Chains A and B, each alone.
Chain A
Amino acid sequence: MSITRDEVAHLARLSRLALGEDELEHFATQLDVIISAVARVQEVAADDIPPTSHALPLTNVFRPDEIRPSLTPQQALAGAPAAEEDRFRVPRILDEEA
């Protein structure tokens, strides 16, 4: 096994996916196969090879510090599941973060 059910459960929590027991089992089995397959990248001798994060070697793409029109609050909130006082209404937040 390259990945266990518990690891999948941990990853699901980390990525905010409330998976049921059946789904966890099913994914664990499938991901085990997938991870074994993609682990082939480790066969490649690549000690001195630099990683590529971007397809093309562009650098220094900046925009000028100019103000552009914003949305109106109505536009911003049009697709919101809930809104109040021109703000996005969200369920209670458990913890302070960062």
Chain B
Amino acid sequence: MSTDTVMAYDEALAKFEPVLGLETHIELGTASKMFCGCATTFGAQPNTQVCPVCLAFPGSLPVANRAAIEGIIKIGLALNCTIVEWCRFARKNYFYPDMPKNYQISQYDEPICINGHLDVEVEGRTYRIEIERVHMEEDTGKSLHVGGATGRIQGADYSLVDYNRAGIPLVEIVTKPVEGTDVLAPEVAKAYATELRELVRALGVSDVRMEEGSMRCDVNVSLMPRGAKEWGTRTETKNVNSLRSVERAVRSEIERQAAILDEGGRIHQETRHFSEATGTTTSGRSKEEAQDYRYFPEPDLVPMAPSREWVEEIRASLPELPAARRSRVQGEWGLSDLELRDVVNAGALDLIEETIAAGADAGSARKWWMNELSRHATVQGVELAELPITVEQVARIQALVVSGDLNDKLARQVFEGVLAGEGTPDEVVAARGLKVVSDDGALSAIIDQVIADNADTADKIRSGKVAAAGALVGAVMKASRGQADAARARELILEKLS
């Protein structure tokens, strides 16, 4: 395998402008497959979710899954698409062992959703990604390559095919060419994929797990010299399987293409593969003949004509979409753009909202998740949502703070206890004996001692420098090992020294 020469990214962008295109495949989370009643459970034993239809046994026929059509209409509506009044399935004909019929039921010139857009934000600027089409199709089976050195397709002796995945509903979302991203092309591409994933997840129509392949991105990149009007030849990098890889694939294709163009070379329109290991793309295959898919209307399925009533019913059922939700919580919680972005990036939006729903105020809910709990998550190397604490428990700890039973310092110890598996917040409070000392008698004795130990400071306060009380409060807290009610301590200090 030859290593491609690359041009440094900044230099590449100084000379060329990138044009992007993204094609995203999303497996819908329906109970049964697109055209038959087989289950769709991920990771099932091989060939246990197959039937005459999805194995393309002779004589079998497809019947479309209504829930899948509803799912794609939801996605189309959420992407601001027009849902067409009439469209058909088409057969895409090509031979491949993991595709049982040797044609894929897809849609060709009559996609069900057209002309939408999705706005994404990168470094404070909004980019509108135009959606060309969203169409319905079916997934293929999976091959295991046996023999050869690497278990990869190249050099294998033979392959073993499992058709469990064959026929799972697949939605393909195709953008129009994205121009004007300039140096931020990789970030815009990633932001689009991220936003699309959030959107589809919010719709509840797919689990959009890139690591399990239920969301897969193909990234098209072309370059044109600065100031040129005509787009360059594009390459298509297939099956980029993480958000980070989307960014890396765009960047590496820009660097590779720029080097070729700069030396007067030509870009071949080809399929390339992204390697997670190297972060670069390699040429897929050079076909001696161009593919001719011989699309024609699928005669085994009748046309779809989604009624306007049905479409409006689906529209009315859409949940709040991520962008709308973000602007709502930003207002409700009084966040700056930066704070909001941090919350979103931390994956804390749902958690904070649910904590608020469980009784906490917005500021405290955000504070606990973004500071204390984020720190724990980072230390443990897990996502916030994976921490062993519930939103109800977070709200309970905050309630104890509000009631004065805990202060922030004690609360942090309660979090620690809950995360360590010591029980519920109340159990941790009881077991560790964490209780704010606000009983005036006990507090008064500590204060007297502190005043005696800090006579100078006490004199300052007596002479009117009330601000100096903070130092004594600190001393009281220290002496009580954090259990004192700081506000009450301050009141008592000022009383005693007035």
Chain A positions near chain B (C-beta within 8 angstroms): 10, 13-14, 16, 53-54, 58-73, 76-77, 84-93, 95-98
Are A89 and B157 within 8 A (Cβ)? no
Output the residue of A60, A70, A93 with the most chain B CB within 10 A.
A70
- Are A71 and B52 neighbours in the complex by a CB distance under 8 Å? yes
* Chain A residues closer than 8 Å to B285, beta-carbon distance: 95-96
B63 at the A interface (CB under 8 A): yes
Is the Cβ of A54 less than 8 Å from the Cβ of B303? yes
Nearest Cβ in chain A — how far from B281, in angstroms?
A: 13
Distance between Cα atoms of A25 and B99 in the complex (Å): 32
B51 and A70 contacting across the interface, CB-CB below 8 Å: yes
12 inter-chain pairs at a CB distance below 8 angstroms, sorted by A residue, are A14-B294, A65-B31, A67-B31, A76-B163, A77-B47, A86-B46, A88-B160, A91-B158, A92-B157, A95-B287, A96-B238, A97-B96
Asked whether any CB of chain A lies closer than 8 Å to the CB of B156, the reply is yes
Closest A residue by C-beta to B310: A60
Complex-state Cα separation, A65 to B32, whole angstroms = 6
Tally of contacts, chain A with chain B, CB under 8 A:
144
Nearest opposing residue in chain B for A83, CB measure: B160
Q: Which of B55, B104, B153 is within 8 Å of A76, CB to CB? A: B55
User: Which B residue's beta carbon lies closest to that of A91?
Assistant: B158
Q: How far is the CA of A10 from the CA of B37 in the complex (A)?
A: 38
Question: Is there contact, CB below 8 Å, between A68 and B160?
Answer: no
* Chain B residues whose CB sits within 8 angstroms of the CB of A77 once the complex forms: 47
Interface assignment of B353: CB less than 8 Å from any CB of chain A: no
Please determine whether A96 and B64 come into contact, CB atoms closer than 8 angstroms: no
CB <8 Å contact, A65 and B273: no
Of the candidates A16, A53, A63, A97, which one forms a contact with B64 in the assembled complex, judged by CB atoms under 8 Å apart? Answer: A63
Q: Are A14 and B292 in contact (CB under 8 A)?
A: yes
Residue B364 lies at the interface, judged by CB distance under 8 Å to chain A: no
Quick check: A87 and B302 within 8 Å, CB to CB?
Answer: no
Pair B302/A85 contact, Cβ less than 8 Å: no
Known A60-B304, A93-B143, A97-B94; contact A65-B289, beta-carbon cutoff 8 A: no
**Chain B residue nearest to A73 in the complex (CB):** B47
Contact of A93 among B55, B67, B104, B153 (CB under 8 A): B153
Distance in Å from the Cβ of B173 to the closest Cβ of chain A? 16
B37: contacting residue among A58, A62, A68, A96, CB under 8 A:
A68
Give 5 A-B pairs besides A70-B49, A76-B50 with Cβ atoms closer than 8 angstroms.
A53-B297, A65-B68, A67-B31, A73-B45, A88-B163
Structural contact, B46 and A73, CB atoms closer than 8 A: yes
Of listed A13, A16, A71, A90, residue having the most chain B CB within 10 A: A71
Q: How far is the CA of A89 from the CA of B437 in the complex (A)?
A: 73
Please measure, in the bound complex, the distance between the C-alpha atom of A22 and the C-alpha atom of B171, giving whole angstroms: 45
Contact with A along B65-82 (1 / 0, CB 8 A): 111110000000000000
Taking a contact as CB atoms under 8 Å apart, the answer to whether B160 and A67 are in contact is no
Q: Please state if A87 and B86 are interface contacts (CB–CB under 8 Å).
A: no
Distance between Cα atoms of A66 and B273 in the complex (Å): 36
B38, B95, B284, B303: the one contacting A59 at CB < 8 Å is B303
CA distance A93 to B377 in the complex (A): 44
Tell me the bound Cα distance from A97 to B239 in angstroms: 11
In the complex, what distance in Å separates the CA atom of A89 from the CA atom of B338? 54
Q: Are A96 and B153 in contact (CB under 8 A)?
A: yes
B299, A53: Cβ atoms closer than 8 Å: yes
Give the nearest-CB partner of A58 in chain B: B302
**Chain A residue contacts of B69, Cβ below 8 A:** 62
B289: chain A residues at CB < 8 Å are 10, 13-14
For residue B431, CB closer than 8 A to chain A, the reply is: no
A85 vs B140: C-alpha distance when bound (angstroms): 19
Mark out the residues of chain B between 364 and 389 whose CB falls within 8 Å of any chain A CB in the assembled complex. none
Q: A58-B302, A92-B159, A98-B104 are in contact. Are A65 and B66 (CB under 8 A)?
A: yes
Closest beta carbon of chain B to A72's beta carbon, Å: 7
Contact A93 B303 (CB under 8 A): no
- Bound together, the chains give a CA A70 to CA B65 distance in angstroms of 16
Within 8 Å CB of B153, what residues of A? 93, 95-96
- Contact status A67-B32, CB under 8 Å: yes
Residues of B within 8 A of A96 (CB): 153, 238, 271, 273, 284-285
| Residues of A close to B292: CB separation below 8 A | 14
What is the distance, in angstroms, from B88's C-beta to the closest C-beta of chain A?
A: 7
Q: Which of B245-290 contact A (CB under 8 A)?
A: 271, 273, 284-285, 287, 289
A39 vs B270: C-alpha distance when bound (angstroms): 35
Query: What is the CA–CA distance of A95 and B95 in the complex, to the nearest angstrom?
Result: 11
B54 to chain A, nearest CB (A): 9
- Per the bound structure, the CA–CA distance linking A71 and B296 in Å amounts to 30
CB of B5 closer than 8 Å to a CB of A: no
How close is A29's CB to chain B, nearest CB, in angstroms?
24
Q: Chain A residues with Cβ under 8 A from B306's Cβ? A: 60
Cβ of B363 within 8 Å of any chain A Cβ, yes or no, is no
Residues A70 and B46 in contact, CB atoms below 8 Å apart = no
Question: What is the distance, in angstroms, from A64's C-beta to the closest C-beta of chain B?
Answer: 6
Q: What is the CB-to-nearest-CB distance from A1 to chain B, in angstroms, rounded to a whole number? A: 21
Point out the residues of chain B lying under 8 angstroms from A91, CB to CB.
158-159
Report B-chain residues with C-beta under 8 Å of the C-beta of A88: 47, 97, 160-163
Q: Are B48 and A63 in contact (CB under 8 A)?
A: no
Q: How far is the CA of A89 from the CA of B97 in the complex (A)?
A: 10
A4 to B: closest C-beta gap in Å = 16
In the assembled complex, which residues on chain B have CB atoms less than 8 Å from the CB atom of A13? 289
Q: Tell me the bound Cα distance from A87 to B159 in angstroms.
A: 9
* Assembly CA distance A16 to B294 (angstroms): 14
CA distance A3 to B78 in the complex (A): 49
